[in-house]
Amino acid sequence: MTAERVLVDGAALVMVTARTDRPVTGLELCGELPCWQQPIVMQRAGATWEARVRATAGVYEMKLREPDGAWRIDPAWRTVTRGGELNGVLVVGGTAEPVLHAAAPPWLALADDGRVLVRAALRRGHGERLSLRLDDGAGPALRAMRSTGSDEGHLWFEAELAGAGRSVEYAFVLADGRTITGEQALRFSPRELAPSPPAWWRDAVVYTIFVDRFRRGGSLGAWADPHATDRELRAGGDLDGVIEALPYLADLGVTALHLTPLCTSPSVHRYDAVDPTAVDPALGGEAALDRLLAAAHARGLRVLLDLASTHVHRDFARFQDVRARGPASPSWRWFRGHRWPFIEGHEPGYAHYQKGQWQEPLLAVDEPEVQDAIVDWFAAWARRGVDGLRVDAAADLPLPLLARIRAAVRVVRPDAVVFGEVVPACIDRFAPGALDAATDFAHREAFVGWLGGAPAASWTTVAAAQRRRGALGSGLGFTSTHDQPRLGTVTQDPALARLGFVTVALGARVPLLYYGDELDLASEAGAASRAFEDAWPDRQPMPWHARQSATHAAVRAALALRRDHELLRHGDEELHALTDDAVLVRRARLGDAIDIVIHRGAAPCELELPPGPDTRLLLAIGEVLVVDEAHVRLGPRSIAVLDRRPLPDDLALRVGNLEIAREAFVAGHVECPAYPSRVYLTVTESCNLRCQHCITDAPARTQSGRARTLQPWLLDALHDTFAHADYVGFTHGGESVTAPIFPDVLRRIARARAGRPGRADIHLISNGTLLTSDRLASLLDLGLTSLMVSLDGAVATTNDAIRVLGRFDRVVANLAAAVELRARRSADLRIGISTVVGASNVGELPALGRLCLDLGVDWLKVEETYPATPFARHDLLAPDAPALAAAMTALRDVIAGRPLVLVDHLAPPAGCTCSGDPSVIAFRAADDFANRTRFRPCRTPWEQAAIDPDGTVHVGDYAGHALGSLLDAPMLALWNAPAALAARDRALAASPPAQRRACTR
């Protein structure tokens, strides 16, 4: 058999063709297209069989099934092997052999800190290494990929990229130099990979409440029958009971409540709706939901509701009509009736929910009218003000319908989350494509299996596979849902179950806790073998009297740790089997790590830890002793949470940073143990103007989408640099204030420097068009101390012709408002204007001087034109051009004796003040005033770094040698890279020891 794909219908339709080596009467195509639960019947086409399926870019595993149930794979197919299972594989929009990769999630994933992960598998026998060749528009680069494991057929690799905003073309390079790409060039744009969940979701801790069994309002937590688990009898929990429990839940560390359905229904669980959009009066009705939402939101808690849309109760109005009128009913197509009149009981004449639930007719979820109604139901709950919705049995709904549900909810509540119950192992099919998140049952099965005695590899292997499939960020972690036996029931050991709850609380997936687990709720051992959805013994009334359990304390402590450590909320996750009884879960990010060592064994043990710069105990569950940096001793059923990050530098080092650099310079050391004290940082290369003389290529980059923008991971990586710097300059590589992340950058600088004495200057270069008084006020609040605004003429016609899309009048008004704001707030802000002078505006220099005086700014800088564009080359004036000399003389006459510092940057003298040259000393004084820093050019390579939005560090300014990326190494390592040492070597050669000693502090 062979399978090939034919691109039809805009590359969305894939034709799979199979040839058999012997006659067969039929063939089914089974696999991940659309999913294993829905085989596709293939059609005979002469000697072959065909199936057409819609598929976006991806890697799809599949098999053929013959009528007798026999599975087949053609030897000519590409294959993957996982856990001994061989499947055929169809690659759409990906690479050829021997590299397995598609240009789509999860093979490409955008981390929530802005980094892009590229994943690929290399068929065994084609070398041990794999590299990425990249071109983001700045020229090709080669990057080695990191090995992340292997299976029977492939070696697996990953690479992290800066993901600085612009689109990247890439290919894979094998160890023998061969390049592997796709039928078409492989390309990604971080914007298209952007994860869908709202920002709050990754920080969420979700707590599932089975409403009928949680709490009854006004009952003080007492139940008529505290042991009532009957599937037919309501215990009486209601929404006012949930309101009463909010303080308890907030104290536990929960941030979002997931409530089982509230809709009207005769059942205890209410997953069989009579009216899918009405709150059951037995729960308190509509008013109770409003009260709950108000009370929860007042505490900062979110409320997520649940809705089943694959089936309804037989009293659902449209089904009642179908029961009465049969095929004559306008709602007949809503259901899957095959015989009418219906009968009550088994074989009722219509498709119904599984396990004999004939009272629960299935909805025809492929029908457009039904789909419209389902979408409306979800949107209706969103309009009520809930913060998110769970789609019950999401894997039984078509993916496009799930996507419509999410879109409709988002229209109403842009920050709402839509997550789904996805029981099959392929949650990456559903999230993030159609849902924001999905329950990761595959990981749960493996983890609970390990707690129950399975080998450690059975968990770590599944975890690695789920990680490769991108299931971490989009997955919900749990030990049981309301459909499964509780972990306490499965283990019959509260201490072992406690390990499970704490591990979920500290894992990479959003934790999903089940009510009462923290109070050791469990039922007798026999209930552990109950079928899915039949976990009635474990739907007990919440035992409010049992709040002081050790498990409650452990879960509460773990959630507090998660709240306090960003690594635990956002870090990656890798599992290492230390022994069969002990697994280490490493939560890591940018070289920092927290290790969670879980010991399920009944006997004490001593374990060797993987290398880490330090080992400090953050949390102990059970008996834990940190022996030394590499060893930990654990008692039975225990967990050690270990901070493996290096201790933060002390304050003295940060204060002395500049002096340490000076000492290295004076002593002639090319190694520099200090951080750069002056940092230039490009927040974005995108600009709202199209200046004709722009030297940064911002207009073209902005229009083509090649402009890079700083991502959150870089702020993490720059923390220590910010802590040590005295000066951060935001250069004009684009317009910083157009980047939404800019205020965050300033906040992170302030946070990193908190508690450090001495001033820090924040210098912003802006085109001024967007610097309204309000925006400037907020920037002042965030630490801005120095502002340079560009104007290239003294009148609108001149300026706006050069600075295309610039608005002279608006910039002047903004400058006037800035000066007024400074005076009103007595703000420590230095303000100046910079002008690039050429043939088209040279005559306006005196008028520009008058404008500066009228505005009351502090300085005016006159800069030479740099011949970077055709306009600039045409407009360029030599520094000694007579017209320029005359204009400068006239300008000096205008400002003579007035409080305006003139920076003549037309032919700036080189050198440092320590040379003693008076022209250098005068120029440096004016230029330093305008930049609000102290430049010492002779020791720039020890003091100054420029950083691109993708984390590339340059020594000196942006034209200086690139030292590497902060994605790969910390600043101090880059700051002592060979190119930095060479730059210092050259600086030392130009600065003899006596002069260095004279270099003032």
Q: Is 950 helix (H, G, I), strand (E, B) or coil?
A: coil
DSSP 382-417: HHTT-SEEEEETGGGS-HHHHHHHHHHHHHH-TT-E
Nearer to ligand SF4, 732 or 936 (CB): 732
Distances (CA, A) of 176 to 70, 95, 119, 657, 768: 40, 17, 20, 46, 53
Question: How far apart are the C-alpha atoms of 617 and 598, rounded to whole Å?
Answer: 14
Nearer to ligand SF4, 303 or 683 (CB): 683
Nearer to ligand SF4, 583 or 694 (CB): 694
Question: How far apart are the C-alpha atoms of 459 and 911, rounded to whole Å?
Answer: 63
Nearer to ligand SF4, 255 or 766 (CB): 766
Instruction: Work out whether 838 is an interface residue with ligand SF4 (CB under 6 A).
Output: no
Among 17-25, 27-35, 104-112, 686-694, the segment contacting ligand SF4 (CB under 6 A):
686-694
Q: Assess contact for 710 and 685: CB atoms under 8 A.
A: no
Instruction: Work out whether 589 is an interface residue with ligand SF4 (CB under 6 A).
Output: no
Between strands 58-65 and 71-72, the pairing is antiparallel
Nearer to ligand SF4, 86 or 876 (CB): 876
Nearer to ligand SF4, 688 or 976 (CB): 688
Question: How far apart are the C-alpha atoms of 101 and 120, rounded to whole Å?
Answer: 5
Backbone dihedral angles phi then psi of residue 552, each to the nearest 5 degrees:
-60, -45
Binding mask 784-823 for ligand SF4 (x = CB under 6 A): -------------------x--------------------
Q: Assess contact for 294 and 340: CB atoms under 8 A.
A: no
Nearer to ligand SF4, 61 or 735 (CB): 735
Nearer to ligand SF4, 638 or 767 (CB): 767
Q: Assess contact for 823 and 777: CB atoms under 8 A.
A: no
User: Shortest approach of ligand SF4 to residue 692 CB, angstroms?
Assistant: 9
Nearer to ligand SF4, 690 or 747 (CB): 690
User: Shortest approach of ligand SF4 to residue 963 CB, angstroms?
Assistant: 24
Nearer to ligand SF4, 487 or 681 (CB): 681
User: Shortest approach of ligand SF4 to residue 944 CB, angstroms?
Assistant: 21
Nearer to ligand SF4, 551 or 869 (CB): 869
- Of these, 159, 642, 691, 862, which contacts ligand SF4 (CB under 6 A)? 691
User: Shortest approach of ligand SF4 to residue 736 CB, angstroms?
Assistant: 10
User: Shortest approach of ligand SF4 to residue 791 CB, angstroms?
Assistant: 11
Among 327-335, 573-581, 692-700, 851-859, the segment contacting ligand SF4 (CB under 6 A):
692-700
Q: Which structure tokens are listed for 51?
A: 């199936």
Question: How far apart are the C-alpha atoms of 528 and 508, rounded to whole Å?
Answer: 27
Q: Is the dihedral of CA 625, 627, 628, 629 positive or negative?
A: negative
The DSSP output letter for 311 is: B
3-state class percentages of the chain: helix first, strand second, coil last, to nearest 5? 35, 25, 40
Distances (CA, A) of 27 to 40, 61, 121, 775: 9, 16, 30, 65
Nearer to ligand SF4, 276 or 699 (CB): 699
Instruction: Work out whether 698 is an interface residue with ligand SF4 (CB under 6 A).
Output: yes
Q: Quick one: angle between helices 882-895 and 845-855, nearest 10?
A: 30
User: Shortest approach of ligand SF4 to residue 399 CB, angstroms?
Assistant: 42
User: Shortest approach of ligand SF4 to residue 732 CB, angstroms?
Assistant: 5
User: Shortest approach of ligand SF4 to residue 691 CB, angstroms?
Assistant: 3
Whats the size of the chain, residue-wise?
1001
User: Shortest approach of ligand SF4 to residue 933 CB, angstroms?
Assistant: 20
Backbone dihedral angles phi then psi of residue 865, each to the nearest 5 degrees:
-75, 135
For the chain, the C-alpha Rg in angstroms (whole number) is 33
Binding mask 702-741 for ligand SF4 (x = CB under 6 A): ------------------------------x-xx------
- Of these, 304, 559, 597, 687, which contacts ligand SF4 (CB under 6 A)? 687
Residues 6+ apart with CB under 8 A from 777: 821, 825
Nearer to ligand SF4, 947 or 955 (CB): 947
User: Shortest approach of ligand SF4 to residue 862 CB, angstroms?
Assistant: 16
Question: How far apart are the C-alpha atoms of 526 and 134, rounded to whole Å?
Answer: 57
Nearer to ligand SF4, 406 or 803 (CB): 803
Residues 6+ apart with CB under 8 A from 442: 425, 427, 462, 465, 466, 471
- Of these, 87, 265, 489, 696, which contacts ligand SF4 (CB under 6 A)? 696
User: Shortest approach of ligand SF4 to residue 696 CB, angstroms?
Assistant: 5
User: Shortest approach of ligand SF4 to residue 788 CB, angstroms?
Assistant: 11
Q: Assess contact for 948 and 958: CB atoms under 8 A.
A: yes
Which amino acid makes up residue 352?
H
Among 79-87, 496-504, 696-704, 838-846, the segment contacting ligand SF4 (CB under 6 A):
696-704
Instruction: Work out whether 764 is an interface residue with ligand SF4 (CB under 6 A).
Output: no
Nearer to ligand SF4, 657 or 767 (CB): 767
Tokens 């011949």 belong to 867
Among positions 398-457, residues that touch ligand SF4 (CB under 6 A) are none
- Of these, 122, 263, 694, 903, which contacts ligand SF4 (CB under 6 A)? 694
User: Shortest approach of ligand SF4 to residue 307 CB, angstroms?
Assistant: 49
User: Shortest approach of ligand SF4 to residue 181 CB, angstroms?
Assistant: 34
User: Shortest approach of ligand SF4 to residue 776 CB, angstroms?
Assistant: 17
Instruction: Work out whether 767 is an interface residue with ligand SF4 (CB under 6 A).
Output: yes
Q: Which structure tokens are listed for 925?
A: 């004084």
- β-sheet bridge partners, residue 438: 420, 475
- Of these, 699, 849, 949, 951, which contacts ligand SF4 (CB under 6 A)? 699
Question: How far apart are the C-alpha atoms of 747 and 757, rounded to whole Å?
Answer: 17
Among positions 84-113, residues that touch ligand SF4 (CB under 6 A) are none
User: Shortest approach of ligand SF4 to residue 961 CB, angstroms?
Assistant: 23
Question: How far apart are the C-alpha atoms of 693 and 867, rounded to whole Å?
Answer: 8
Among 29-37, 374-382, 693-701, 776-784, the segment contacting ligand SF4 (CB under 6 A):
693-701
Q: What is the largest CA-CA distance in the chain?
A: 106
Residue 940's CB is within 10 A of a number of other CB atoms, namely 21
Between strands 605-608 and 631-634, the pairing is antiparallel
The DSSP output letter for 362 is: B
User: Shortest approach of ligand SF4 to residue 958 CB, angstroms?
Assistant: 13
- Of these, 689, 860, 900, 914, which contacts ligand SF4 (CB under 6 A)? 689
User: Shortest approach of ligand SF4 to residue 868 CB, angstroms?
Assistant: 10
Backbone dihedral angles phi then psi of residue 943, each to the nearest 5 degrees:
-115, -25
∠ CA 762-780-815, nearest 5°, is: 95
Q: Using alpha carbons, select from 477, 569, 487, 490 the residue that is nearest to residue 526.
A: 490
- β-sheet bridge partners, residue 85: 82
Nearer to ligand SF4, 260 or 684 (CB): 684
- H-helix or E-strand spanning residue 668: none
Nearer to ligand SF4, 726 or 864 (CB): 864
Nearer to ligand SF4, 130 or 689 (CB): 689
Looking at 850-913, which runs of residues are DSSP E strands? 859-864, 901-905
Q: How many residues bind ligand SF4 (CB under 6 A)?
A: 13
Instruction: Work out whether 249 is an interface residue with ligand SF4 (CB under 6 A).
Output: no
Q: Which structure tokens are listed for 549?
A: 């359990």
The residues that touch ligand SF4, with contacts defined as CB under 6 A, are: 687, 689-691, 694, 696, 698-699, 732, 734-735, 767, 803
